[in-house]
Structure 1
């Protein structure tokens, strides 16, 4: 019993002196993702028009793609307390515990006012049932050269935004939201 007490006392003293310490925390990023959850934006204006909105699943993230006829030049993507409708400012209730407002500086109508993108169901642009991160994708409107999409997600998770060239002189705005931190 004396040896046990002496050994226990030695361990406690060593721990108190910092000689015995847990190893360093080595949390590796999920799937190599090093994104954050702060707003991402490009303030340029675009002469393109929105033509489609679609989603997809990847092993480490869910993806939102906005197709444009022309070169996408500007966007703003950020977590918001509530998604608001363009023009009116009405709040749009969203599924999920966090909301991303995706704004692209491109209308969903042409120079003659004719629609270039008319969603069949504004409250569900894409069926995201079974997605790990996405809970709902809504059309928040197109007003004065801006088009807004609401993206309801499971939680406030890291995301990235980038553009890709598309076919026939078009382009795509891509928003990837990680499945977890």
Structure 2
């Protein structure tokens, strides 16, 4: 792709972001009045919780609607989406969990997420949990650890949820 085409593609993508148009939903697919986010296929993040098991710590995200694509990556620090402010959690190692497209609020802007915003659980591995973002169709969580975490993930259904197990 030559430079001119890359610039045009970048400008088009920027225009889509500025207008709030999602690439996965055509502009002609506006929802009729009274249609909820769930009916449109947008995932609503309603809760997050932790649990201690004999050989692992568990982090679970509960979702209403279909499970969206989810990414988990190691990051050097946790920051709040939008502001960029550092998340005040203890730890040396961090994981960032992103769900997108997703929201933790309804169409009226009221929160549907009932879980913790910032907590330091008394767990062997997980030292901190934070909801770090509900911004532009992306819901982000951060987890803090003293030691580099080994983990596995799974998606469970009925009810829909994402599970992250941290090995001890």
Tell whether the structures are fold-level matches, with TM greater than 0.5: yes
Q: Which consecutive unaligned segments of at least 5 residues does structure 2 have?
A: 1-23, 26-40
Deviation beyond 6 Å, 4+ runs, structure 1 = none
Further displaced range: 90-99 or 138-147:
90-99
Q: Which consecutive unaligned segments of at least 5 residues does structure 1 have?
A: 1-43
Task: Give the structure with higher Rg (CA).
Answer: 1
**Could you tell me which residue of structure 2 aligns to residue 97 of structure 1?**
92
Report the aligned-residue RMSD. 2.0
**Could you tell me which residue of structure 2 aligns to residue 128 of structure 1?**
121
- Does residue 143 of structure 1 match 2:138? no
Q: CA offsets per residue over residues 42-98 of structure 1, 9 Å max, x none?
A: xx9961100001000111110000001011121111110011111222221321221
Whether the 8 Å CA contact 1:86–1:147 is kept in 2: the answer is no
User: Which residue among 60, 68, 71 is the counterpart of 1:73?
Assistant: 68
1:84 and 1:70 map into 2 onto residues whose CA distance is 27
Partner-residue secondary structure (3-state), 2:142: strand
TM-score scaled by length of structure 2? 0.70
TM-score scaled by length of structure 1? 0.65
1:166 and 1:82 map into 2 onto residues whose CA distance is 34
**Could you tell me which residue of structure 1 aligns to residue 109 of structure 2?**
113
